[in-house]
Amino acid sequence: MCGIIGFSGNVRAQDVLLDGLQRLEYRGYDSAGIAYFKETGKISIRKTAGKVRDLRAICDDNEATCGIGHTRWATHGGVTNRNAHPHKCGDVALIHNGIIENYHELVSEYGLEDRLISDTDTEVAAALLDKFYDGEDAIGAIKAIVPLLRGSFAFCILFKNHPGEIYAIRNVSPLVAAKCKEGTFIASDLTAFIEYGREYFIVPEYAILTMTDTEITMQDMDGKAIEPEMTEVSWDVTAAQKDGYPTYMLKEINEQPDAIARTITPRISGGLPNLSDDGIPDSFFEGCRDITIIACGSAMHAGMVGKSLIQEMLEVPVTVAIASEFRYEPPVITDESIVIAVSQSGETIDTLEALRLAKKKTKKTLSIVNVKGSSIARESDYVLYTHAGPEIAVASTKAYSVQMASFYLLACKLALVQKKISEDDAKKFMENLQNVSDSISAVIAQSDKIEQLTKRMLNANNTFFIGRGLDYTLSMEGALKLKEISYIHAEAYAAGELKHGTIALISEGVPVIALATQGHVYSKVISNIREVKARGAYVILLSMDEKITDRAICDTHISLPKVDDRFAVFSAVTVLQIIAYYASVGKGLDPDQPRNLAKSVTVE
Ligand code: F6R
């Protein structure tokens, strides 16, 4: 949600900022802007509603070497030039990621009305800062206003009279920083400056950063110096590029076999799951009576797969809670409960707050997170990092698959520790898990055929995804994927539930994507499919049968590789991702940046 970058150094800031913003654009892409110090020491601003390419078009040539840049996902105030960041108030220019919840109160309390020209909460912070800034003491002004703010924020600030310097502070919203030979960098995430260096640090909350062209110093709110904890990035710049693919999403779908292998292979020893390198002791899995999974969106759908699996293997109740709901209901967990938070970004505010709530009840929290050092990873008792590499497309694909794979690892580990599975069976289970990469590749090889069948869906107003058991959990993910990038309405339904109302919506030609990979309910699903087919639906069936030509069952059949039923989710969801992808491309849309959305939802 909103991308931030700051740079002070010995090369042209505008190039660094615009290229960085291009990479951060997935965090928000409705407006963009930069601010920089001119040679005169004055602060200059360029900003516009639209994409980073629109911003590029209005930037002039300038040799400034210090500046800040922002790409916006609107929260307060419409998508207009005026509301784009940076916001300049008097002697201060500022960019912001987050929400200042008490901005209305601040306006009246500090008489800021006359200073404001936009509708944003951010400009209030800029105005407040300017009010407290005496033209000299930048840090003093920051210290004065931060305690007044309620909400989440990551700020990068330029102060007049401090040319060449960037000040920054954050609460909840992420910031990382680095010093390289070209200068000093700060950004919402590493993708913005990965090409300049591999060493970086996560900016601690409430640390005040001062960046010059050669140095970054930090102090806490009491003025005590803070040393950065340096860490090294585990992927290189190509991982954050399209690498010959037309879109990030297609690249990321194709990366799934490798991403899964990277996530599970180092965690298998002697054929069995081994989480000792992650520092997760077996005692964590002992004596657990119930498990709660908290997450949002696709991560929550991965959790539903985890629930089905763990419940079956462990015979303990597993609840999947939508993080934003969990936060406002009394949590039904005890100190013996395991709570698993799932998040690609590790910054989703609802999941983070749900985790914080859960931690008040249990010390057994574990997170499944992709971004190293992110807030959710740092705040949970244990972390299982997924190794998907950077996921740039807004719609999650490879991160979802590695989250599922992580649940398979955890389910097997739990079942072993709790003696619900023999070592031999656990080895077979892990072997099956290692083979899922091949089954995904086999499906990707059928992409052309899948692309063809999406043509049938492009003019549909409604589509349905149906299945039972694990297939139902995948239906939810398939429907979400289709909705978010193709804007075709899609609804997921447990196949047996359709006849209790929703079947009324099935009429001639309505596309129904049916999943039938689960042997124990296969014949039941086929009966449900016949029911919709009989009412005119256009059925696309995914199953592990070699061929189905019976037109009373389906119009098109996609044959999935034959695997143990429990492992069919990996190839099946890949088909659903490819369907959504080509539906989006077929409608002339940009699957990487769907309207109204942004990656990493750091607002509630
Ligand atoms: C959908 C999608 C979102 C995310 C959700 C959680 O394709 O990507 O639904 O899964 O916003 O994000 P993370 O995993 O970063 O917590």
Lookup: tokens for 172: 């909840």
Beta bridge partners of 8: 66, 184
* Helices and strands (H and E) in the chain: how many: 17, 26
Q: Which residues contact 173 (CB under 8 A, 6 or more apart)?
A: 1, 97, 98, 152, 153, 154, 188, 347, 602
Ligand 1 atom 10: residue of nearest CA: 298
d(CA 7, CA 34): 11
Residue 345 beta carbon below 6 angstroms from any ligand 1 atom: yes
User: DSSP labels for 426-462?
Assistant: HHHHHHHHHHHHHHHHHHHTTHHHHHHHHGGGTT-SE
The reply to whether 2 belongs to the active site is yes
For residue 273, report the distance from its CA to the centre of ligand 1, in Å: 27
d(CA 185, CA 17): 10
d(CA 310, CA 404): 12
Q: What is the pLDDT of residue 249?
A: 97
Pocket test for ligand 1, best of 252, 344, 371 (most atoms within 8 A of CB): 344
Q: What is the pLDDT of residue 28?
A: 83
Pocket test for ligand 1, best of 396, 404, 595 (most atoms within 8 A of CB): 396
Q: What is the pLDDT of residue 533?
A: 95
The reply to whether 66 belongs to the active site is no
d(CA 122, CA 448): 46
d(CA 133, CA 112): 14
Burial per residue of 276-310, b for 16 or more beta-carbon CB atoms within 10 angstroms, e otherwise: eeeebeeebbeebeebbbbbbbbbbbbbbbbbbbb
Q: What is the pLDDT of residue 277?
A: 96
> Per-block average pLDDT, block size 10, for the chain (604 residues)?
94 97 89 94 94 94 95 89 95 95 94 92 96 97 97 96 97 94 96 92 97 98 97 82 93 98 97 97 92 98 98 95 92 92 95 95 96 92 96 96 98 96 98 98 96 93 96 98 97 94 92 97 96 95 94 94 97 98 97 86 74
Please check whether residue 189 is in contact with residue 176, taking contact to mean a CB–CB distance below 8 angstroms. yes
Can you give the pTM of this predicted structure? 0.91
Strand residues in 127-182 grouped as ranges (E): 151-159, 166-171, 176-180
Please check whether residue 35 is in contact with residue 44, taking contact to mean a CB–CB distance below 8 angstroms. yes
DSSP state for residue 84 in the 8-state scheme: S
Whether the ω angle into residue 86 lies within 30 degrees of 0, i.e. cis, is: yes
d(CA 311, CA 185): 46
Ligand 1 atom 16: residue of nearest CA: 343
Residue 344 beta carbon below 6 angstroms from any ligand 1 atom: yes
**Cα-flanking dihedrals φ and ψ of residue 8, to 5°?**
-135, 125
